[in-house]
Amino acid sequence: MDADVSREQDRVDAEASREQPGTEAERTGLMLVELSNAMVRIYKDSFGRGPTKVRTSYADPDVIVCTLEKSLTHAERTMAASGDHKELRDLRTYFQYLSRDEFVGAVEQITGRRVRAFVSGIDTELDVSSELFYLQPR
């Protein structure tokens, strides 16, 4: 009986694999686009404005880097123009970490992997942010 169950599971697994679109690289590319879209949504929900440019990639098999550009709100751009970069970095970083669970939850749901560490940063002079996700090794 166990052999029959195992063969049936193998058949189901093989059928499911054939139904996945494209190559492994294409599926990874689609996942990275999905992660980028999730980051834009979280930024928009958290800050009232999403970035105009976003790119997500693997830095290595267990590290995902998401770079987001032009996400500062009008008020934040005013702070930057006034030279209040330290205050702006502190404020933005504070809000990014308040949304930590949303960032981590999105990555875990989309990748199917557990995030072991989350690091967020911003260059307020160039309006470039990064979100780093360290995944549990497989």
pLDDT at residue 117, rounded to an integer: 98
Q: Is 110 in contact with 31 (CB distance < 8 Å)?
A: yes
pLDDT at 27: 85
pLDDT of residue 22: 80
Give the pLDDT score at 25.
84
**How far lies 53's CA from each of 10, 14, 28, 66, in Å?**
42, 38, 20, 11
Q: What is the per-residue pLDDT for 35? A: 96
**In angstroms, what CA-CA distances link 17 with 20, 42, 112, 114?**
5, 31, 16, 23
Rounded CA-CA distance 111/43 in Å is 19
The per-residue pLDDT for range 5-64, each reduced to its tens digit, is 544 654 444 444 445 668 888 888 899 999 999 999 999 998 889 999 999 999 999 999
Residue 4: what pLDDT?
A: 56
End-to-end CA distance of the chain: 31
Q: What is the pTM of this model?
A: 0.81
Q: Give Cβ neighbours of residue 5 (< 8 Å, ≥ 6 apart).
A: none
